[in-house]
Structure 1
Amino acid sequence: MSSPKRRLLVTSALPYANGQIHIGHLVEYVQTDIWVRFQRMRGHEVHYVGADDTHGTPIMLRAEKEGLTPKELIANVWKEHKRDFDDFLISFDNYYTTDSPENKKLSQSIYLKLRDAGLIEMRSIEQAYDPVKEMFLPDRFIKGECPKCGAKDQYGDSCEKCGATYSPTDLKNPFSVVSGATPIKKVSDHYFFKLSDPRCETFLRDWTQVRTPLQPEARNKMKEWVGQPGDSNLGDWDISRDAPYFGFEIPDAPGKYFYVWLDAPIGYYASFLNYCESKGLNFEEWVRPDTTTEQYHFIGKDILYFHTLFWPATLHFAGYRTPTNVFAHGFLTVDGEKMSKSRGTLISAHSVIESGFNPEWFRYYFATKLNDSMEDLDLNLQDFVARVNSDLLGKYINIASRSAGFLVKRFGGVVSDGAMNNPLLADIASASEKIAELYEAREYAKALRTIMELADKVNAFVDENKPWEIAKDPEREPDLQRVCSVTLEAFRLLSLYLKPVLPEVTAGVEDFLSVPAMTWNDVKTPLSSQNPIKPYKHLMTRVEAPQIEALLAANL
């Protein structure tokens, strides 16, 4: 049963243009991409957009250190990020930058709408200032001794040793990371988004607790902030930074710039606007408050606060539609521990490709771990090798290699008409809606378990019918063609179910089976005797343990 056609705008969080993409980042993009590819297979109109997050003090300082302008630096990093996403088959419709004319226009327009709504307030605040570099210092650019435990070389907002949080002014013996100088205190005018305004409190309480089907963990976390009427923990949000700063200048405020977290999420819309203008789509139709389109954001749980409080409030009070939902995932650990440069487990995306790994190995393994919760997931390297080889090679790919050769050599690649009437194929085809529901719900681990259980049934069918034995008896040619045809039809169905996860392998399968690009409805479309299959070619190789060792060594 086909579902009504939906119109979906989907985003992943914007990677900061101050570092490379590593496999921890890729969990999110793979999660999003699987969902997007599934929705496209269902026939929905889906637009998946992203961008590099390019503004802020770290970008400015790194560019200066490397002898580049900030724009030169972010252009270089954009190319690296886009290369990595392409290598891992992340199917963005548009991958852009937050340092764009579209983002500047939208950010300034949204700010002015918030100001006109009485939600922007200017206040004088005292901040740490570097007297040598002549710049105000973000918390992370101040270090010193923890005021709680005395640990040296701790950042200005939290202690990595004891976990304490504090203000930069609480640090003992503070120093500027930029120049080494002792910061001084200096007053500056800043602009605040009045999130504590009763209008914002009322809206966010309704949006997070009633209107939006947030994950239970996310809803409970937001409840701590929105509280009950008269009991909110929402504070006003400082959305400005002082020059020198790489970003967009605030209208009517010379020397003041939008804090990166103000214009970064607006970058979702800027990327989509850029895409709409290139494709002739009506941007306003997608983002106006009464639109029937859907809007989904995939993010890490560490930025939930920005996406479920600041972002929907910004959109709502600036006259835009709010997200249909925000999907947060947990962090990636490697062999049960946080990723570590010293242990070689802070694995860059590019090193995976340079080490000769198939990116679909990682796409599959991550998918076997992903569900609809915010729990962390672990990349166990021994399990990775075993799971990929057992599931993908032993259970799935092996099915095609066990039957295709007989069909090509003995029957010209022609599949028997009526093979789909076999009870095994009826069983596999009947699972399509269950698997679709699991993909829709982001329960990828359950979906893949279901698919591999079906693969087990197919392999049991092959073992029971033994086509290699049937092939020895000239009088059983019809049986051989029937068994191999049923097996290949089963392989087609399994490939269709795996297509969101393994797009490149599936493209090879489609070519091998002489079928057009498969959609979800093709569960009902049997292989045709009019289009013989092609000779089988290896679709995937095994992963070997020495490859893991080489990958870790490459990241030390």
Structure 2
Amino acid sequence: MSYTNSLVTCAFPYSNGSIHLGHLLEHIQADIWVRYKRMRGQKVIFICADDAHGTAIMIQSKKENITPEQLIHRTLIEHKNDFLNFNVIHDNYYSTHTTENLFFVKKIFSTLQKKNFLKKKNIYQYYDIKENIFLPDRFIKGTCPYCHTKQQYGDNCENCSSIYTATDLIDPKSILSNTKPLLKKTEHLFFDLPQLETFLKNWIYSGVLQSSVLNKIKEWFITGLKPWNISRDQPYFGFNIPNFPNKYFYVWMDAPIGYISTFKNFCHYNKDINFEDFWKIDSPHQLFHFIGKDIIYFHSLFWPAILEAADLRKPTGIFAHGYLTINQKKISKSKGPMILAKDWIKYLDSDSLRYYYASRLSSKVEDIEMNLETFHEKINADIVNKIVNLASRSAYFINVYFKGYLSKELTDIHLYKILISSSRKIESFFENRDFSLVVSEIIKMSNIANQYVNTEAPWNIFNLKNDISKNRVQNICSLSINLFKIIITCLKPIMPDLAQKSEEFLNISLKWEDIVHPLLNHKIALFKKLYSRINKNQVHFLLKTCTLK
């Protein structure tokens, strides 16, 4: 099948807090992939939105003495700016609290009703008598009933990844009042997930999931699929459920549907894109979700089941990543450590974070450890000492003695072809999201190129009065700059700011298809600093600003 377009999404950041380094891990991962795809001539639409509903937003707005609408509007502007500061460029960044999302939530809800996928059921749910509120899963903490890890939320365990209900927790407590909640009877709507078990079992084996995710999903089938509660009691900030008084759609019902409504909003401003063509059940286009491993259950079971029941297309691929840890601790708003995007950008550049993440990201669901003590050392060693230095020391001779012109031929075609061969490996690594292998190969290329310059040592053989010597130096430096061009082209999806400065220096636009074409008899610009060395104090000041627990 020939695909004409791809739709790429990230999980929606919640509207009650700022963007932190954990959010950026996922969005940078997706943005790198999207940039590479576009460099290869593929049509990709990259969307995201704020997850703007839930009890947490209602409570946060109450604390600030503003309306939920005011809170989510302010946060939306902040989130957009934060992502742009890190060169994460979404084609549309929207919100789940919109007329479009309400329309599609109601439409899908109506379809589920007509097809008998929804059932009413009386259940007992935890209630905080001090705050007079039914408690959402994330407002209850206790001991995991499976691995007995303490301080776990009421829906899943961050330690063993088990899925359970809040009533399964051992020694539950409300995080609002720090009191033991009471069980109170209430009626809710449930989506009949077990009715779609056969479909889901076939779907998860279709190649859409990573192998480790598939293994986890199989465990959930063994324990048995359960009906999914899609309603919440008032008080709540969200969409009212039609003909179900005082009940609201659960955030995990309307949030994934936000993928559809955000794309619909994008199509409103891009008339050449056919909305129906993307979401019909036999769509020729591709749909990819980048998510964290903590929401695998929702995206690999609940979401495709809703789409199947609503006669809509399913994802082509779901790409889960591990947690971000800093100094061996999972990044978390409640447990720490916490570094906000807006704080990072005060002291450090965006390219450095993008490169560091890329050097550790793979196609596997592995946690990413960030060592801030050695962060600056890696960036300086790789980017400044190896990559940028390759260009700067060769550019000096070309700019000063050859009026900026590169030589008319390459004197070592074999060396040039070695790096071309490496770029072919990198293509496969990018495609498979093995960015750490991309970075590793780029460093190998840089080492080869620098070894060549060190061996030839143009600074030792240059003689202004000797034409043979001058020609040889021009050839050495021209080849060095051409090798730099290959390297920086491969690095462009990862470090867009460095790539842009390099394009100005090389006096070209870096295109993937031009990797094989060397710059001959070409005039480069006067070399200007491409990247500044990171001082350890910059990291120190960042850590002083942020609260690291």
| TM-score normalised by structure 1 residue count | 0.91
- Alpha-carbon distance change, 185 to 522 in structure 1, aligned in 2, over 3 angstroms: same
Tell me the distance in 2 between the aligned counterparts of 1:92 and 1:492. Answer: 27
**Deviation of 1:134 (Å):** 4.1
Aligned equivalent of 1:329, options 296, 300, 321: 321
Match of 1:219 in 2: 214
Instruction: Return the letter of the residue paired with 1:205.
Output: K
Whether the 8 Å contact between 1:422 and 1:486 is mirrored in structure 2 is: no
Q: Is the 8 A contact 1:43 1:519 kept in 2?
A: no
Aligned with 1:498 (options 485, 491, 495): 491
Give 1:317's aligned residue.
309
Q: What letter corresponds to residue 439 of structure 2 in structure 1? A: L
Q: Comparing 168-177 with 327-336, which one deviates more in the overlay?
A: 168-177
> Following TM superposition, by how much is the alpha carbon of 1:398 offset from its aligned partner in structure 2, in angstroms?
0.3
Decide whether aligned partners of structure 1 residues 423 and 145 sit closer, same or farther in structure 2, where only a CA change above 3 A counts: closer
User: How far apart, in 2, do the equivalents of 1:477 and 1:150 lie?
Assistant: 73
Q: Distance in 2 between matches of 1:148 and 1:313?
A: 26
- 1:243 CA displacement: 1.9
| CA displacement at 1:420 relative to structure 2 | 7.9
> CA offset at residue 166 of structure 1?
7.7
2:69 corresponds to which residue? 71
Select 1:373's aligned residue among 339, 354, 364: 364
* Matched residue SS, 1:474: coil
The answer for unaligned runs of 5 or more in structure 2 is none
Q: Does 1:404 align with 2:395?
A: yes
CA RMSD of aligned residues (A): 2.9
**Residues 387 and 169 of structure 1: CA distance in aligned 2, closer, same or farther (over 3 Å):** closer
Judging changes above 3 Å, is the alpha-carbon distance between structure 1 residues 450 and 247 closer, same or farther for their aligned structure 2 residues?
same
The number of residue pairs the alignment matches comes to 544
Which SS does the other structure have where 1:537 is aligned? coil
Measure the CA separation in 2 of the matches of 1:149 and 1:451.
42
Contact 1:27–1:366 (8 Å) recurs in 2: yes
Q: Provide Cα deviations, 1:398-428, integer angstroms capped at 9, x if missing partner.
A: 0110111211121111112222862211211
**Offset of 1:32 from its aligned partner?**
0.8
SS in 1 for 2:193: coil
Q: Does 1:284 align with 2:276?
A: yes
Instruction: State the alpha-carbon separation in 2 of the partners of residues 164 and 28 from structure 1.
Output: 22
CA distance in 2, matches of 1:334, 1:431: 32
Report what 1:86 is aligned to: 84
Q: Secondary structure in 2 aligned to 1:10? A: strand
| Deviations 1:438-464, CA, capped at 9 Å, x for gaps | 011111111111111111111011111
CA displacement at 1:253 relative to structure 2: 2.1
Point out where structure 1 has 5 or more consecutive residues left out of the alignment.
Answer: none
Further displaced range: 51-60 or 218-227: 218-227
Query: CA contact under 8 A between 1:17 and 1:74: conserved in structure 2?
Result: yes
Q: 1:269 aligns with which of 246, 260, 269?
A: 260
Letter in 2 for 1:101: T
Equivalent residue for 1:124?
122
1:45-194 matched pairs, under 5 angstroms: 45-131=43-129, 133-142=131-140, 177-178=175-176, 183-194=181-192
Tell me, in whole angstroms, the C-alpha distance in 2 between the residues paired with 1:162 and 1:283: 39
> Which of 505, 518, 526 is the matching residue for 2:518?
526
Distance in 2, matches of 1:442 and 1:383, equals: 25
Q: Percent identity?
A: 42
> Contact (CA 8 Å) 2:139, 2:154: kept in 1 or not?
yes
Change (3 A) 1:207 1:163: closer
Q: Which deviates further from its counterpart, 469-478 or 492-501? A: 469-478
Per-residue CA shift, 1:252-282, capped at 9, x if unaligned? Answer: 3232211000111111121111111111111
Question: Counterpart of 1:424 in structure 2: which amino acid?
Answer: L
Instruction: Give the stretch that moved more between structures: 159-168 or 279-288.
Output: 159-168
Q: Is the 8 A contact 2:3 2:285 kept in 1?
A: no
The one-letter amino acid of 1:187's match is: K
Of the three residues 283, 295, 298, the one matched with 1:303 is: 295
> Structure 1 residue 127: deviation in Å?
2.2
User: Residue 481 of structure 1 is aligned with which of 469, 474, 479?
Assistant: 474
SS for the counterpart of 2:204 is: helix
Contact 2:3 2:286 in 1 (8 A): no
- In the TM superposition, residue 121 of structure 1 has moved relative to its aligned partner by 0.9
2:543 is aligned with 1:545: no
